[in-house]
Amino acid sequence: MSRSVPVVAERRPTRQIDIGGVAVGGGAPVSVQSMTTTKTADVEGTLAQVYALAAAGADIVRCTCNEQEAAEGLADIVPRSPVPIVADIHFHHEMALAALEAGVSGLRLNPGNLRKEAEIKQVASEARDRGVPIRVGVNAGSLHPELYKRYGGATAEALVESARIEIAYLADVGFEDVKISVKASSVPLMIAAYRLASETFDHPLHLGVTEAGPPPAGLIKSSAGIGTLLAEGIGDTIRYSLTADPVEEARAGRQLLEYLGLRERRGLDLIACPSCGRAEIDVIGVAREVQQALETRKLPIQVAVMGCVVNGPGEAREADLGIAAGRHRGHLFIKGKIVRVVPEGEMVDALVFEAERIVAEGVEARLAAAEVGAEQEAEADRKALFEAKGSDANRSGEKVELIRKTVHNRE
């Protein structure tokens, strides 16, 4: 009986909001966000980073608006940005009003730091009249002291309650274009808070593990939290919060969505075996070479690098393109079918050439262009290596005979 491939859970239904032309929630593709690290008053420096983030996969970019000079910078940045700009507001509601004057596509308000009801409602009224959405950005590290005391700490319930109170203020002035985040630096707390938020609200959710730290730990924590929730169908837009160049955030977010099948692949997906005693090449080194050679070309293709020909093509048969090493040669395969056999020193160049041809001509055309006799050559190599390393490398035949004798003697 055939089994279907597991997929992520069906997306949780939410309302849809529009952030400068990017739909969020309501079945729209999960979007990627990041935040600039430049001074927003530095218009050219900030724009350079925004463009780099957009190229790396960011659909929406957030900029801090913490002073008048930052708001003035936004007035120049917004019309020149390739993606919608969201203003990040923490303590001063005047900065939110100034950002709206600058023409931003969205606001992020932190209810733990911007606490006066009248000021929140004033901002919401202005945003309502301009059609600008607001993210209610709750953070475990800046939770309102009263909620912290009431719930005995930054619990999932406390984070969701903070969001509920803020949303009620916004609703009082007829503001409904809301998305919510309930971030924490603790992965289990973050997951629990978003699960509860998904049960409590029908607004779109912005996922993130706040202050995740530098890579690789920050990448692991963010992927664990965001990936878990996305696999459960929770989440409409995401941000990796890394202590690193924000381009890494955008790239990681985009890749996660592609790996989960939530966004169409637009760049390289490199798969490689972890290497073992059967490997005929330096798998780690070759995989690194392939990644460096192909990543900059931005080819939407899955490429496999396998260390041996015993099982390599079969294990990676779903890859668009791959290579397996054996007897100082590389077996180049497309969708599991051997199309060429090349010298070991030409493996990376052959992969790059074939990757470009596949993108330009299509898989079927390249399969039709397979070299005559390639499969027979590859099979001869595979058999030779199988006999040397794969057939009874663990002396399994002898072990089977001993097992049979042991069982027979007990009978």
* In the predicted structure, residue 60 carries a pLDDT above the cut 80: yes
62 φ, ψ (degrees, to nearest 5): -105, 140
Alpha helices in 173-265 (DSSP H): 187-200, 217-231, 246-259
* Placement of tokens 């395969």 in the chain: 333
Residue 338: which H helix or E strand, with range?
A: strand 337-343
Q: What is the model's pLDDT at position 247?
A: 96
CATH of domain 16-259: 3.20.20.20
Indicate the pairing of strand 206-207 with strand 237-239. Answer: parallel
Q: How far apart are CA 204 and CA 407, in angstroms?
A: 62
The CA distance from 201 to 163, in Å, is: 10
Q: Within 13 Å and on the Cβ side, how many CA atoms surround 206? A: 30
Residue 6: band (very low, low, confident or very high) from pLDDT cuts 50, 70, 90: low
Instruction: Tell me where in the chain the CATH 3.30.413.10 domain(s) lie.
Output: 269-390
CATH code assigned to 269-390: 3.30.413.10
pLDDT for 395 beyond 60: no
Question: Average pLDDT in the 351-380 region?
Answer: 88
Measure CA 130 to chain center.
Answer: 32
pLDDT value at residue 57:
94
Mean pLDDT over 23-34 rounds to 97
Q: What is the pLDDT of residues 78-87, one digit of tens each?
A: 999 999 999 9
Which of the given ranges, 179-188, 277-286, 329-338, has the highest pLDDT on average? 179-188
Looking at per-residue pLDDT, the higher value among 4 and 233 belongs to: 233
* Half-sphere exposure in the Cβ direction for 373 (13 Å, CA): 2
Rounded to whole angstroms, the Cα distance separating 336 from 195 reads: 40
54/129 Cα distance (integer angstroms) = 28
CATH 3.20.20.20 residue window(s) in the chain: 16-259
Does the structure show a pLDDT above 70 at 330? yes
Residue 364, SS3? Answer: helix
Q: How would residue 362 be classed by pLDDT, with cut points 50, 70 and 90?
A: very high
Query: Which pTM was predicted?
Result: 0.84
